[in-house]
Amino acid sequence: MQETLDPENWEQFSQLAQQMLSDMLTHLRTLPEQPAWREMPPGVRQGLQEDPLPWKGHSEAEVYQQFFQQVLPYPNGNLHPRFYGWVQGNGTPLAMMADMLAAGLNPHMAGFNQAPALVEKRVLDWLRQLMGFPPESGALLVGGGSMANLIGLTVARDRWLKGEALLGNSRRPVVYGSTQTHAWVTKALRLLGLGADTFRALACDDQYRLDLSDLRQRLKRDRAAGMEPLAIVATVGTVNTGAIDRLDELADLCALEKIWLHLDGAFGALARLAPALAIQVKGLERADSLAFDLHKWMYLPFECACALVRDGNAQRRSFELEGSYIEPETRGVIAGGLPFAQLGLELTRNFKALKVWMCMKSYGVEKIGRIIQQNVDQAAYLVEQIKSRPELELAAPAPLNVVCFSYRGVNNRELLTRLHESGRAVPSGTTLGGQFVLRVCLVNHRTRQSDLDLLLDSVLEIGGWMKASASQQ
């Protein structure tokens, strides 16, 4: 007898699928009533770690029950309105359904003559327009910011090589950024065969932006030493403090020095969608390449990022793909070829564009921009509350949506761990000026002012208890 992986009983599976959907919507609807994070009980952890290899299958209902009991209650919490850690997306119910539709349709998104490819092309046109890039620029949806940044830096490397082979090349490239540049850059330089020591981490000014005076001096010294500037990597919203490098001035410098300007706009680039914030990212549209994450400040579920390259032809030259088995035709399924595969590393790609398309059409760019502004206003509120409490100390300027602060006189690393374990809120931590501080990043459309009040009350309560305990010892 021939077999299939479709359900044996479609009606029963339909009922199970409806239960799955109902449970997920209940989970999302009740997020504010749940802990921001909860530790897995030892039995759950052991059960997942020791789950035996399933040579024989179980019923779909049994497998779903294991998910419902052992997986659903114990995520890292990034959907929760009081999750402020790192820079993690939180998704929407509509985007969840879009991902289900995309997985159900399961198109191969290298290109092909199909409606999903037209959806992705239109989404990329919208993203070019939003970021001020020309229609002929290269654009691609990828998994995350690291891949989007790698694409930009790859095209920069290939332009610098001017057709020469990298292996055995005696030229000495240099890539510049600040000490606040995300760690993706050294990983990318290793992957590109340039080596992590190609990167120059330069000083920041008192706003945690790349110091242009230091940059100009290093350019001069490096050129005199026979080195060749390949690219400047600027950041639009640093992870630590949300600082934005001086984009217009960097664009002027790169034009003068004939250096590639790449922007890591992971979350900050999307400030451009909020009219009052757009001035802070002025100059972004002048970059040679730009990477940004839609699963961060466009509130989409993982994973979806975008790489834009001003010279679309240069991007295609870096990633062109050939083979008799994928030659384009003028008619049929492969009419038009595989354009997305010619712009990045992946041939097989999923339908990321559907959630972008559905959410942008349903919410509208104006509403997304208003919620981005709402997050920035929440950060400003948090700053004022911190300043009004003598126990707390603001650790850095907060120009955008990231607020760093500490509780005076206690071990803030321990305070952070206890806050996580309480389930009340999940900020993350970082080190600024040699001191460990609490870091709150607001990229959640679910967060309300009352959530920030609860965060502060919890920090004050835990910090006060720690300080009192220390004084009694």
In tens, the pLDDT along 190-247 reads 999 999 999 999 999 999 999 999 999 999 999 999 999 999 999 999 999 999 999 9
The pairs formed by 338-341 with CB atoms below 8 angstroms and a separation of 24 or more are 338/110, 338/111, 338/112, 339/111, 339/117, 340/109, 340/110, 340/111, 340/117, 340/120, 340/140, 341/110, 341/111
* Measured distance CA(334)–CA(344) in Å, rounded: 19
The confidence score (pLDDT) of residue 171 equals 86
Kind and range of the H or E run holding 394: strand 392-394
**Interatomic CA distance for residues 199 and 188, integer angstroms:** 10
Rounded-to-integer distance, Cα 250 and Cα 215, Å: 10
Three-class HEC string of 199-236? EEEECECCCCCECHHHHHHHHHHHHHCCCEEEEEEEEE
Residues of the chain with pLDDT under 70: none
Q: b or e along 393-403 (b: 16 or more beta carbons within 10 Å of the residue's beta carbon)?
A: bbbbbbbbbbb
Please state the φ and ψ torsions of residue 260, each to the nearest 5 degrees. Answer: -65, 130
Task: Identify the burial level of 309 via C-beta atoms within 10 angstroms of its C-beta, where 0-12 means exposed, 13-18 middle and 19 or more buried.
Answer: buried
pLDDT at 165: 83
CA 128/CA 126 separation, integer angstroms: 5
pLDDT given for residue 46 in this prediction: 97
Separation CA 267–CA 280 (nearest Å): 13
In terms of Cβ atoms closer than 10 Å to its own Cβ (0-12, 13-18, 19+), residue 236 is: buried
Q: Which two tokens stand for residue 216?
A: 């100009």
Written as six digits, the tokens of 318 are 């870096």
Domains of the chain, each with CATH number or no CATH: 99-363 (3.40.640.10)
Query: Which amino acid does the sequence have at 132?
Result: G
